[in-house]
């Protein structure tokens, strides 16, 4: 895989944005599979969690090896503590990841622009971001995945002082554009809807978020897949295994 450290000026954030990208290569070194085909690669937006940045997936997992052998580009943006949201008192991170980042990546790189070739996944805060992107713009993604996601921000909006800066007054979060359950209902009749992949460790404090989200999505007719992994908490060993499972699953569904 080729590795790119991309920096460009973001109009949404009013600052230089940082993005790591890995791209498929038709020939690679010893012990690494070459990618298949000469078509523009499919695209996975891979989102980091609350305590990390865009470098973490390459530092803590084998995502580069898992993507090798597939015609897949992996795009990893940095969003600080934003929850991938247009902050109540801050910057427009949702506009950045939903609109400006994809436009920039397609401008800079030769990538597939087809929704059926586009995926989004993330861990913890990034799991929330992945679902928020997919539920706000269901027509843009084929599949979205949450690994140990913080999926119930309406419940947690008052749990940290910083969340008021991100989401605004806690009582206004339920039913808003930040509320995944409101988005599930709002988009239930959308003509094109991505498959929703949700997983969480059985010992994770966010387990109930994932269970409730899957129940509600199923009730509303979304195509969902749920995996509860015994013995795991909020841990990189699990997320490494989950991204290893997700990439071939996404690439196999043609």
Q: How far apart are CA 254 and CA 244, in angstroms?
A: 18
Domains delineated in the chain: 2-252 (3.40.50.1820)
60, burial (CB in 10 Å: exposed 0-12, middle 13-18, buried 19+): middle
The per-residue pLDDT string of the chain (254 residues; one tens digit each, 9 = 90 and over) reads 999 999 999 999 999 999 999 999 987 665 566 666 579 999 999 999 999 999 999 999 999 999 998 999 999 999 999 999 999 999 999 999 999 999 999 999 999 999 999 999 999 999 999 999 999 999 999 999 999 999 999 888 777 788 889 999 999 999 999 999 999 999 999 999 999 999 999 999 999 999 999 999 999 999 999 999 999 999 999 999 999 999 999 998 55
pTM of the predicted protein model: 0.95
Contact 83, 153 (CB under 8 A): yes
Contact 114, 39 (CB under 8 A): no
| Count of Cβ atoms closer than 10 Å to residue 231 Cβ | 10
Q: How far apart are CA 156 and CA 176, in angstroms?
A: 14
**Taken in order 235, 237, 243, 246, is the CA torsion positive or negative?**
negative
CA atoms within 13 A on the CB side of 25: 13
């Amino acid at each position: 895989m080729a590795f790119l450290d991309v920096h460009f000026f973001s109009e949404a954030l009013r600052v230089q944005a940082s993005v790591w990208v890995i791209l498929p290569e038709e020939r690679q070194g010893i012990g690494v599979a070459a990618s298949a085909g000469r078509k523009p690669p499919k695209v996975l937006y891979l989102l980091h969690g609350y305590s990390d940045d865009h470098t973490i997936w390459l530092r803590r997992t084998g995502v580069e090896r898992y993507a090798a052998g597939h015609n897949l580009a992996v795009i990893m943006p940095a969003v600080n503590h934003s929850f991938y949201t247009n902050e109540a008192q801050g910057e427009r991170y949702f506009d950045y990841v939903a609109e400006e980042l994809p436009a920039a990546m397609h401008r800079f790189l030769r990538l597939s622009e087809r929704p059926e070739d586009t995926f989004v996944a993330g861990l913890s805060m990034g799991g929330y971001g992945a679902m928020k992107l997919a539920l706000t713009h269901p027509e843009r993604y084929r599949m979205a995945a949450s690994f140990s996601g913080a999926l119930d921000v309406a419940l947690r909006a008052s749990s940290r002082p910083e969340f008021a800066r991100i989401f605004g007054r806690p009582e206004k979060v339920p039913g808003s554009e930040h509320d995944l359950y409101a988005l599930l209902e709002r988009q239930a009749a959308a003509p094109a809807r991505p498959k929703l992949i949700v997983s969480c460790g059985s010992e994770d404090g966010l387990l109930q978020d994932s269970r409730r989200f899957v129940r509600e999505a199923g009730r509303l007719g979304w195509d969902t897949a749920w995996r509860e992994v015994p013995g795991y908490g909020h841990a990189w060993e699990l997320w490494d295994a989950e991204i290893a499972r997700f990439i071939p699953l996404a690439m196999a569904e043609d």
